A = this chain, B = another copy of it.
Amino acid sequence: MNITILSGATSKCGEQWGVSPRTLVGDVVKTTLADAQIASSSIDALFIGNMLSSSLGSQDHLGAFFADELGLSVSAVKVEGACASGGLALHAAVLGLLSGMYKTVLVVGVEKMTDHKPEEVARALMGAGSDEEREAGATFPGLYALLARIHMNTYGTTEEDMAAVSVKNHFHASLTSHAQFPFPVTIAQVLSSPPIATPLKLLDCSPIGDGAAAVLLTTKPKRHGVVIAASTVSTDALGLHRRSVLTGLSATTRAAQKAFSLSGIAPADIAVAEVHDCFSIAEILAMEDIGFFKKGKVAASIREGITTLGGSGPIVNTSGGLKAGGHPIGATGVKQVVELFVQLSGKAGKRQVKDARVALAHNVGGSGATAVIHILKKY
């Protein structure tokens, strides 16, 4: 594939009461266009990743909404797949570029979640789950708690192992100003934080937040930069009760295998990765399902600091991940790729992974019914 990432930007994530989606998106797009030194008139198509604009924002025409806001009259569309909406929007953009129909496209992920009561947000988020799960009163912390319990029973994973994920990601977040929680936490703090859905505690869970992210992609030839080497999607049963495997997310495995096969890149080549740690257990599952470590061997590698900045790598979630960087649903999949673009461009400052040349982004919808993988390469 010959798709270059020209630029990208991420907003501050978190509670932004006074900031509208218009402003969130307007700001990241302005930075993205300025960085690439490209006028908005060069954009051939706009792909918006978003989950909750309908249920929380009463807006069901989001492509045209943001095209209008940005002064564009090009093809514009909202792409939705729960928490994987951002990754799916990027995948749709990649298809658009590879089709030859569009040469330069803008991908925007955005979510505005904090203007609503927590119960309304929790109900809206269950739109990512199955009817049966909704009717049973399940929530995503509860569903991931089930996955955590199975992993603990099968591989001996402990609450301390999961806490180590949060500790690592908070440490990384402490090195970036955009993170929702830019401060470190300790294993003891995670373990003593309030229980949410046992064995998951507050500090095992990613937060609700507002945010936006944008990337500008082109197929026009460039002499150097960062390219997308693979973009793949796979799906699985919506509800956990219909899955054949519960010790991991099969959709991740399938999407990752396809991405490695298409790009000729192997897990061992990846220097830096952003994986979907909506809950601490999810990062452990992701690391196994992508193939970075053998099943049951991830926990030790995290505890030993292999995936922490300065470790032997892959270095995982330098942005702070969803846990500490923030998880503005539709923005997340785009935000991950912005972080990797910054890393491969050598502009990550205090959180820079040295000599990073190949990177991987992993974005999940719901409890794993959708998985999206992007592999990025410096050239």
A residues contacting B by CB (< 8 A) are 45, 51-52, 54-55, 58-65, 67-68, 72-82, 88, 91-92, 94-101, 123-124, 126-131, 134, 232-238, 242, 250-251, 254, 365-366, 369-370
How far is B235's CA from A72's CA once the two chains are assembled, in angstroms? 8
Does B81 contact A80, Cβ atoms closer than 8 Å? no
How far is B370's CA from A74's CA once the two chains are assembled, in angstroms? 9
Shortest CB-to-CB span from A50 to chain B, Å, is 9
Does B61 contact A128, Cβ atoms closer than 8 Å? yes
Does A235 contact B92, Cβ atoms closer than 8 Å? no
Shortest CB-to-CB span from A354 to chain B, Å, is 33
How far is B62's CA from A129's CA once the two chains are assembled, in angstroms? 10
Shortest CB-to-CB span from A262 to chain B, Å, is 9
Does B242 contact A129, Cβ atoms closer than 8 Å? no
How far is B62's CA from A94's CA once the two chains are assembled, in angstroms? 21
Does A58 contact B235, Cβ atoms closer than 8 Å? no
A369 partner, pick from B61, B88, B234, beta carbons under 8 A:
B61
Shortest CB-to-CB span from A307 to chain B, Å, is 28
A75 partner, pick from B234, B250, B366, beta carbons under 8 A:
B234
How far is B57's CA from A130's CA once the two chains are assembled, in angstroms? 12
Residues of B within 8 Å of A99, CB to CB, are 94-99
How far is B67's CA from A237's CA once the two chains are assembled, in angstroms? 8
Does B60 contact A369, Cβ atoms closer than 8 Å? no
Residues of B within 8 Å of A101, CB to CB, are 95, 98
Instruction: Tell whether A250 pairs with B73 under 8 Å between CB atoms, given A51-B60, A63-B235, A92-B92.
Output: yes
Q: Which residue of B lies closest to A56 (CB)?
A: B54
How far is B72's CA from A254's CA once the two chains are assembled, in angstroms? 13
Does A254 contact B78, Cβ atoms closer than 8 Å? no
| Residue among A68, A75, A128, A250 facing the most chain B CB atoms (10 A cut-off) | A75
Does B91 contact A75, Cβ atoms closer than 8 Å? yes
Residues of B within 8 Å of A100, CB to CB, are 98
How many protomers of this protein does the assembly include? 2
**What are 19 A-to-B residue pairs whose CB atoms are below 8 Å?**
A52-B54, A54-B55, A58-B123, A61-B127, A61-B238, A61-B366, A64-B235, A65-B130, A67-B235, A73-B236, A73-B254, A74-B233, A76-B235, A76-B370, A78-B79, A79-B80, A79-B92, A95-B99, A96-B99
Does B68 contact A242, Cβ atoms closer than 8 Å? yes
Shortest CB-to-CB span from A111 to chain B, Å, is 11
Shortest CB-to-CB span from A333 to chain B, Å, is 12
Instruction: Tell whether A64 pairs with B134 under 8 Å between CB atoms, given A58-B127, A99-B99, A235-B73.
Output: no
Residues of B within 8 Å of A98, CB to CB, are 95, 98-101
Shortest CB-to-CB span from A197 to chain B, Å, is 20
Q: Which residue of B lies closest to A94 (CB)?
A: B99
Instruction: Tell whether A68 pairs with B124 under 8 Å between CB atoms, given A55-B58, A233-B76.
Output: no
Does A74 contact B234, Cβ atoms closer than 8 Å? yes
Q: Which residue of B lies closest to A57 (CB)?
A: B127
Add 11 more A-B contacts to A45-B233, A61-B128, A75-B233 (CB < 8 A): A60-B82, A61-B82, A63-B88, A63-B235, A64-B81, A64-B236, A68-B238, A79-B92, A92-B95, A94-B99, A95-B101
Does B55 contact A81, Cβ atoms closer than 8 Å? no
